[in-house]
Amino acid sequence: MKLHGIFPPLATPFDHNGDIWKVKVQHNVSKLNLTPVGGYVVGGSTGEVVMLTNDEMARAWEWVAEASAPEKILIAGTAAEGVRETLERTKRAAGIGYKVALVRTPAYYKSVVMKPETQMLFFRAVADQSPVPVLIYNFPQVTGIDLSVETIAALAEHPNIIGIKESSGNQEKVQRLALEIKDGFQVLVGQAQTLASALNAGACGGILGFANAAPYAAISIWEAHRTREYAAALDWQKRISRPARLVTAKYSIPGLKHAMDLMGYYGGPPRLPLAPIGPDAKREIEEAFQDIRG
Amino acid sequence: MKLHGIFPPLATPFDHNGDIWKVKVQHNVSKLNLTPVGGYVVGGSTGEVVMLTNDEMARAWEWVAEASAPEKILIAGTAAEGVRETLERTKRAAGIGYKVALVRTPAYYKSVVMKPETQMLFFRAVADQSPVPVLIYNFPQVTGIDLSVETIAALAEHPNIIGIKESSGNQEKVQRLALEIKDGFQVLVGQAQTLASALNAGACGGILGFANAAPYAAISIWEAHRTREYAAALDWQKRISRPARLVTAKYSIPGLKHAMDLMGYYGGPPRLPLAPIGPDAKREIEEAFQDIRG
Amino acid sequence: MKLHGIFPPLATPFDHNGDIWKVKVQHNVSKLNLTPVGGYVVGGSTGEVVMLTNDEMARAWEWVAEASAPEKILIAGTAAEGVRETLERTKRAAGIGYKVALVRTPAYYKSVVMKPETQMLFFRAVADQSPVPVLIYNFPQVTGIDLSVETIAALAEHPNIIGIKESSGNQEKVQRLALEIKDGFQVLVGQAQTLASALNAGACGGILGFANAAPYAAISIWEAHRTREYAAALDWQKRISRPARLVTAKYSIPGLKHAMDLMGYYGGPPRLPLAPIGPDAKREIEEAFQDIRG
Amino acid sequence: MKLHGIFPPLATPFDHNGDIWKVKVQHNVSKLNLTPVGGYVVGGSTGEVVMLTNDEMARAWEWVAEASAPEKILIAGTAAEGVRETLERTKRAAGIGYKVALVRTPAYYKSVVMKPETQMLFFRAVADQSPVPVLIYNFPQVTGIDLSVETIAALAEHPNIIGIKESSGNQEKVQRLALEIKDGFQVLVGQAQTLASALNAGACGGILGFANAAPYAAISIWEAHRTREYAAALDWQKRISRPARLVTAKYSIPGLKHAMDLMGYYGGPPRLPLAPIGPDAKREIEEAFQDIRG
């Protein structure tokens, strides 16, 4: 299962009652189908997954699967804090046709889960029983847990663990993951602003919230890298630095959804306590996306 | 709704298939009914709430409600990251007879939820629509979010927000909450080891994992404080310091469950990735609980 | 060497050229001599020690020693990052008549000094060669290093290490230090707002910046505790909560210096980049100290 | 004052009494004179500056200045917590012939110095009176203070502030500093393992502890970048990743000093509480440096 390229972690469209809006889910996917994205992550942080019930999540998985072009790889975010529920979600997603499970480090019981052996126990138990390959999801800014290179290397020995989404933004760590872990272990990153550097360091792709609004801009970097046009990749990277930061670190999902509305996708409102951004933030985003190729 | 006294946040009994074990849930409650605990929290961190599906949670709420003595106050942990799901859970618990909702600070979208105004938006939206009063749950060691005294004071103005479970262990903060916030706002703490100090500082009670295994020991402190026998309260506090720490900070829920087994309650196994403790930890706990009055 | 009671860590008076002002140093000491403080710490955080050259520090040690009443215990803050310079400073202070060295955990080389064995190496090397007993200074909010109870217990075995200034504000830790470490190891705390609780937990005194401005208020708590008037201690504690917080956590040394000016001591300006507080902060402090007995 | 290229922050040679060893200081400099390093930083973290007295520091400045080739730029680390002492040190260094002052963010009084306006006050006061240009030193892993891009941009307007040593390792921040701050503001980084990425992002050079042991390896990356041989730069970067990490993050200064001994420079022992590394660590470093060109 090759996860090379750019994978948008799909934002979840809600209508003005706050229900998931099937038509818009499928509109976004249809439009992204026309781009060379590698596939879709459904159930990631950008998808407001922690705001959805399990049934809502399953419906979103189905609707995306229906609308997706056949060549796109479907990745489901299935993480829960426990092994049991993570497996239930994973099996449900696999039943719908998802090919990979993206599984976040458990984080709630800090005094226990900060031990590397607890993380290993968790991921091995999940990978042993998962019907589809597992992609580890490391996101310390959110979880407070940062898997070490050594722990990841040990997990990489499991035949059903195929890679990691490393969202720490730590450039040295990406390089070490690529250099020190066995060939074939796939490292994807989560930050569009440093994608070119990460590819240089050995990452094979990105799961980038920004690609919901501007897939071509993200793919341009990846393509330039693939064809060894390093200067072009850097140039693209600099051009997306500000817009990508605005719709992630600075204005988060509400900012991204506004950018999606600008770029011909449906963004719409987030779920509370996320709240739509104000007029100044909107203007800032509009200005930053002016020259970005969707 | 007076929340004075000691409230065990009930541990969740699982059988050896990992299913919630109704008989043992009700056994524990029946035994605790005989003690002067003020009521039960069902769906707290100690209850491995983040390991349960919504349906499992609802069943646990029902089973405890059935077994509970009528004078015990029933508090449901109903927190989700979003307002919508928090309200759905809260309404379900209220329908089962729960009188108070314990609602944790949202924590996942750090760049957004670290703003006090997002926390205010969340708690006000929940409290506006909750059929039962809301108890704020502040637990920065786990969530990475620490509500300030100023934010809590602003939330205390809401007529449907009746207090806080302050689990930071920050003694000065407990004192400030008690001194600076309007009369009637109830401060409960989460750490048995510093209960006497917290009561001295103005807390009205505790939601203490330790009380699952040793309710009388916890109540002794509270009673001594109530009758102004401060030296006796301190003496009790010192006696429980070590056992309380072992079953929380040091060995977490797996340690507590072992202590419950020792003390005539059903503890049993936790859900993965929490794992039963080893023989050395067991011995350490056994030795520490030898002179503790259940 | 008994360190029971309240020890002000002396603020350092500067004149309007920014030079240490001998007359005011000695004025403050003479006035504090009339109170039942246990002694003086010269060269602590409150004394802006990190703003002073070694020669300035030595002069301040001398001036305080000259002015001090004979029964007051003189404690010198002598910490540097390295063993060698810490010892040089300690010997210099001992030569001037200081009886105890207060030595902060080294903190700069995080990847090395976060190891407990490096801290042990440091403190043992200092204690082995120090002509006076050593008091460990643990202040994690500033240093990023928090000595564990286990490490402190190991250091307490050294015959020349007599106690700790524990400034973390962690109430449970103070209790554990008092319960778990051999008799005679002295625990002093650094926060006036929680002094009564700390004494209840087993601390023997406090090194309290607040006592520069309001020694009697701090001593009242200690005296009430000593005579087992716990309710009175708590009452005093509540009364000083706000003023003590304003001159430490909220407005730091510039706030304390303003309070000193109010209470008949010389505060004066701090050294840059610390800067005098503005008129609103001054009013807030003035109002809070109105009913405080100097 | 152009700071383009690689600048070793010189390690400080001590003899076996722990005194600074002039002969070895000058031996190292003479040998580095033969390489195309841009100059020397004397008084940085790698130089164990926090272990030195002011007089020792001044002697080291003199000895390096005597031995340095005329074309090398001399940079003095002159930071203290206060403006006054920072200026005294800066003037002393300037008097000896140093051309730039490297000034770390003040960090001790966290509640005050975490405010951007205090940092601005500090750096402006220093820059106003410094006889030589100021290079800001941002090192959050050690100080707990991380200057924001916005604060740095404001400081960059000062005519006597010429750049920053950004040691956070945050790749996105380096890119933002290079993109968002006015032309001519110089960004140097502190991590050899990510030098190529940082140069790609817009950094103009590096102050790299690793360059004490392997100056040519570090310069190779810089040269490859300068001549737009990006693939070669990446290749070099990968080759130094492990050795550079071993002598910084993993084994810190004691590890670096061992590597210096291997590579024909004098490393020698560090000052306590830093301690020489053990035989396993030595072997690990020896193996990693085998193919590194000094």
Out of D22, D72, D115, D165, the active site residue is D165
What pLDDT is recorded for position D201? Answer: 93
Nearest CA in chain A to D239: A179
Q: Do A273 and B106 touch (CB under 8 A)?
A: yes
Asked if A210 and A192 touch (Cβ cutoff 8 Å), the reply is: yes
Task: Give the SS3 label for residue D108.
Answer: coil
CA-CA distance, A165 to B114, in Å (whole number)?
A: 24
pLDDT band of A19, cuts 50, 70, 90: very high
Query: Nearest CA to B251 among C73, A109, A179, D114?
Result: A109
What pLDDT is recorded for position C293? Answer: 77
Q: Is A106 left (phi over 0), alpha (psi -120 to 50) or beta?
A: beta
- What's the DSSP call for residue D45? G
Contacts of D68 (CB under 8 A, 6+ apart): D29, D33, D39, D40, D74
Query: Nearest CA to C136 among C160, C161, C158, C114?
Result: C161
CA-CA distance, A28 to A261, in Å (whole number)?
A: 11
What digits encode the pLDDT tens for the residues B23-57?
999 999 999 999 999 999 999 999 999 999 999 99
What type of residue is A148?
S
Judge whether residue D259 has pLDDT over 80: yes
Residue A243 lies in a domain: no
Residue A287 lies in a domain: no
Q: Do D272 and C108 touch (CB under 8 A)?
A: no
Tokens of B91: 């309404």
- What's the DSSP call for residue D247? I
Which range marks the domain in which residue B62 is found?
5-238
Q: Do D196 and A200 touch (CB under 8 A)?
A: yes
pLDDT band of B293, cuts 50, 70, 90: confident
Quote the minimal CA–CA distance from C231 to chain D in Å.
Answer: 32
What pLDDT is recorded for position C87? Answer: 98
What pLDDT is recorded for position C229? Answer: 93
Q: Which residues are registered as beta bridge partners of A100?
A: A75
Task: Give partners of A (≥3 CB pairs < 8 A).
Answer: B, D
Quote the minimal CA–CA distance from C172 to chain B in Å.
Answer: 6
Task: Give partners of C (≥3 CB pairs < 8 A).
Answer: B, D
What pLDDT is recorded for position A293? Answer: 77
What pLDDT is recorded for position D291? Answer: 87
Q: Do A252 and B82 touch (CB under 8 A)?
A: no
Residue D219 lies in a domain: yes
What pLDDT is recorded for position D293? Answer: 77
Q: Do D121 and C275 touch (CB under 8 A)?
A: yes
What pLDDT is recorded for position A121? Answer: 98
What digits encode the pLDDT tens for the residues C106-126?
999 999 999 999 999 999 999
What pLDDT is recorded for position B112? Answer: 93
Per-residue pLDDT, averaged over D146-159, amounts to 98
Tokens of D189: 């980084």
Task: Give partners of B (≥3 CB pairs < 8 A).
Answer: A, C
> What is the total count of domains within chain B?
1
Q: Do C122 and D273 touch (CB under 8 A)?
A: yes
Catalytic annotation present for A165: yes
Judge whether residue D22 has pLDDT over 90: yes
Q: With a threshold of 0.90, tell me whether the complex ipTM lies above it.
A: yes
Interface of C with D (CB under 8 A): 18, 45, 48, 50-54, 80-85, 88, 106, 108-113, 118-119, 121-122, 125, 141-142, 144, 249-250, 252-254, 271-275
What digits encode the pLDDT tens for the residues D113-133?
999 999 999 999 999 999 999
Judge whether residue D66 has pLDDT over 80: yes
Residue B259 lies in a domain: no
Per-residue pLDDT, averaged over B265-294, amounts to 95
pLDDT band of C93, cuts 50, 70, 90: very high
Q: Do A179 and D242 touch (CB under 8 A)?
A: yes
Asked if C188 and C171 touch (Cβ cutoff 8 Å), the reply is: no
Residue D106 lies in a domain: yes
CATH number, domain of A21, equals 3.20.20.70
Residue D109 lies in a domain: yes
Q: Hey, how many other C-beta atoms are within 10 angstroms of the C-beta on B275? A: 16
Quote the mean pLDDT of chain A: 97
Per-residue pLDDT, averaged over A125-149, amounts to 97
Query: Nearest CA to B43 among B84, B19, B75?
Result: B75
Quote the mean pLDDT of chain C: 97
What digits encode the pLDDT tens for the residues D208-224?
999 999 999 999 999 99
What is the percent of chain D where pLDDT is above 90?
96
What digits encode the pLDDT tens for the residues A62-82?
999 999 999 999 999 999 999
Stated as kind and residue range, the H or E segment containing C161 is strand C161-166
CA-CA distance, B110 to D294, in Å (whole number)?
A: 44
Q: Hey, how many other C-beta atoms are within 10 angstroms of the C-beta on D130? A: 22
Quote the minimal CA–CA distance from A35 to chain D in Å.
Answer: 26
Residue C283 lies in a domain: no
Judge whether residue C52 has pLDDT over 80: yes
Residue A31 lies in a domain: yes
Per-residue pLDDT, averaged over C66-95, amounts to 98
Tell me how far CA of residue B109 lies from CA of A276, B44, C64, C275, D194, in angstroms.
Answer: 14, 21, 53, 36, 29
Interface of C with B (CB under 8 A): 169-172, 175-176, 179, 191, 193-194, 196-197, 200-201, 228, 230-231, 234, 237-238, 241-242, 245
State CA B267 to chain mean position distance: 17
Measured between beta carbons, which residues in chain A are less than 8 angstroms from residue D193?
172, 175
Contacts of D171 (CB under 8 A, 6+ apart): A169, A171, A194, A197, D194, D197, D198, D201
What pLDDT is recorded for position A161? Answer: 98
Judge whether residue B294 has pLDDT over 90: no
Judge whether residue A60 has pLDDT over 90: yes
Q: Do C111 and D85 touch (CB under 8 A)?
A: no
pLDDT band of A291, cuts 50, 70, 90: confident
What digits encode the pLDDT tens for the residues B151-208?
999 999 999 999 999 999 999 999 999 999 989 999 999 999 999 999 999 999 999 9
What pLDDT is recorded for position C254? Answer: 98
What pLDDT is recorded for position B222? Answer: 96
Quote the minimal CA–CA distance from D74 to chain A in Å.
Answer: 29
Quote the mean pLDDT of chain B: 97
CA-CA distance, C177 to C184, in Å (whole number)?
A: 11
Measured between beta carbons, which residues in chain A are less than 8 angstroms from residue B80?
50-51
Out of B165, B173, B257, B282, the active site residue is B165
Rounding to the nearest 10 degrees, give the CA dihedral for residues B19, B20, B23, B26. Answer: 180
pLDDT band of C101, cuts 50, 70, 90: very high
Per-residue pLDDT, averaged over D79-92, amounts to 97
Quote the minimal CA–CA distance from A224 to chain D in Å.
Answer: 13
